[in-house]
Amino acid sequence: MDLQQTLDAIAAEIARDATEIEAAADAKDDSLSPGPFGIAVATADRVVTAGAADTPFPIQSIAKVLALDLALRSRGDRLFERVGREPSGDPFNSMIDLERTGGLPRNPFINAGALVVVDMLVTDHDRCDSVVDLVGQQLGTRDVPLDQAVLTEGGDLNRAMLSFMRHHGNLEAANDRVMEAYARQCAIRVDCAGLARAGLFLTRTRIAPDDAVEAERARRLRTVLALMMTCGHYDGSGDFAVRVGLPSKSGVGGGILAIAPECAAIAVWSPNLDQHGNSILGVRALEMLAARTGWSVFGPPLDPRAATGAATPPGH
């Protein structure tokens, strides 16, 4: 399989059919014209790109995946005493679900659950840049740009969730500290190539039976990927699993990070969203890529040579 040719063909088809693809989708705003599209695939030895893969965007909720991994490193399965592991069936910012569960969020990817995870990071590390630092570590830089518009967004509903969860004893750090850390991780600004590189460590799920440390790391990443599969696209996760078959997480900045375990990290971006907050062209491109490579958690790749393995990122 020539990965560059595959990505070039997908980008060309997306550009040609973008209007038709978006018209057929349940768009959040059907008055918008199709925007640019980019895709990047990071493997053990290279990053392959096509389209507008060098256009930066805020990762927004994709940061929740990285925050979850960091919190699992420090707390292990004790994390799930404070946040569940089930799809919610409600919008990502719903307060109603919190009322049903007495302040225990259904999963780490809805906003309430992500805030609890960030609360753990702030408490455990006494700082607000844990996720920013992780991205910098994966990209080999100390200069991770942040989107100023995201940093200054209002957060009244998130603050309400924090107060509700504090009332139920499910919050440790000060609200302002949690909000600052949450805003900073959502504001991380990268392009598709950078997002794919930042997520490459998530592909390393092979368990080494003779290495306890590596086995524990692989099991942790399998937990993260399982939650990406079941909850990564909110109440659109089931449809995405059928269409694409890869653990993924979307963000309202138009990006999606998908993981083909032991093969590749894939990042796509296009700004127009569906009703679930997922990039319309991004989802379609991932569906096309999965069909042409066979990358799926439900079966082997079409070409065994496509299973290239994952690189060992810095510090992992």
The binding site for substrate comprises 61, 111, 153, 158, 182, 234, 252
> CA-to-CA distance for 271 and 282, rounded, in angstroms?
9
Rounded to 5°, angle at Cα 306 from 53 and 229: 70
| Residues of each annotated binding site | 61, 111, 153, 158, 182, 234, 252
- Of 71, 176, 166, which Cα lies nearest the Cα of 125? 71
- Of 303, 278, 305, which Cα lies nearest the Cα of 61? 278
The position carrying tokens 């393995």 is 309
- Of 199, 183, 67, 65, which Cα lies nearest the Cα of 120? 67
Strand locations in 157-271 (E): 189-190, 248-250, 255-260, 264-269
> CA-to-CA distance for 307 and 301, rounded, in angstroms?
7
Burial class (CB in 10 A: 0-12, 13-18, 19+), 164: middle
Task: Name the 3-class secondary structure at 278.
Answer: coil
> CA-to-CA distance for 313 and 262, rounded, in angstroms?
13
Judge whether 83 and 64 are in contact, CB under 8 Å: no
Judge whether 259 and 240 are in contact, CB under 8 Å: no
The position carrying tokens 């942790």 is 220
Burial class (CB in 10 A: 0-12, 13-18, 19+), 191: buried
